[in-house]
Amino acid sequence: MPERLAVRKTYKLFIGGAFPRSESGRSYVVTDAKGRFTANASQASRKDARDAVAATRKAFPGWSGRTPYNRGQILYRIAEMLEGRRDQFVGELRRAGASKGDAADEVDAAVDRWVWYAGWADKLAAVTGAANPVSGPYFNFSAPEPTGVVAVLAPDSPLLGLVSVVAPVIVSGNTCVVVASEPAPLPSITLAEVLATSDLPGGVVNVLTGRRAEIAPWLASHMDVNALDLTGAAAEDVRALESDAAGNLKRVFRGAETGWTADPGTARMTAFLETKTVWHPMGV
């Protein structure tokens, strides 16, 4: 048979469950560990960020209204699908510069982290809520609720870092726009393909690739974004982004100080929860 040309993968954005190109028509070159051309990645614009926020807001009522048990099932399903495409992700990470052993370890850690957060879905309310002692014939309950739309700046770890900042945001019912690693964005779009074919509703997670310094200020100042995770922000940009976020009193999480590589803990989940306290007559 004649030799055939390989069909090269096109890396697009992930917005509202679909894979559009940037409305700007821009892309940027992604290279491998030796500086060789790997692919062109979409370079998201301000308009793409606005479209992603709109998709995220649209998905929020349905996702936050699901039972915690169902959200846990969906996160576990994502882990199953990631496990099934393990070899593909190892290949993506090797192209990004990881050794074969390190790439395999990172994929395994990413799968385990999805499972870990999935297990928390129906336990958060018990851990973060309370029945409060009060004086009088009343019940007083505190219950956690999701903050809303969260903009996340992912660290430059292209898979484990991305999972570590996205999973804790969505497990509690929030929806998110995530700006992927700038130098190594390709595994993030492959992960988006997993999300798109899992049971996760479109718009719950939206992935933008491109120049972090260009996209982040628009998300920080967007009036329909409720919270901001600065894990992947450059140290010199944090103060300006916090200032932009103050326009609508966004909740800001300086994730770089908390870390994400070790035991994930609960800080990333509780950072994007609101506490609702309800008084109810006790009755006779």
Q: Which two tokens stand for residue 167?
A: 């999973």
Per-residue pLDDT of 135-151, as tens digits, reads 888 888 899 999 999 99
Query: Does residue 35 surpass a pLDDT of 90?
Result: no
- Give the mean model confidence (pLDDT) for residues 105-117: 96
Q: How confident is the model at residue 111 (pLDDT cuts 50, 70, 90)?
A: very high
Q: Which of 159-163, 200-204, 256-260 has the lowest mean pLDDT?
A: 256-260
Q: How many CA atoms lie within 13 A of 158 on its CB side?
A: 25
Higher-pLDDT residue of 72, 132: 72
Question: Mean of the per-residue pLDDT values for the chain?
Answer: 93
Q: Which of 105-109, 158-162, 258-262 has the lowest mean pLDDT?
A: 258-262
Q: Which two tokens stand for residue 159?
A: 């898979």
Per-residue pLDDT of 169-212, as tens digits, reads 999 999 999 999 999 999 999 999 999 999 999 999 999 999 99
Q: How confident is the model at residue 284 (pLDDT cuts 50, 70, 90)?
A: low
Q: How confident is the model at residue 280 (pLDDT cuts 50, 70, 90)?
A: confident
Catalogue all structural domains in the chain, each as residue range(s) with its CATH number.
Answer: 27-281 (3.40.605.10)
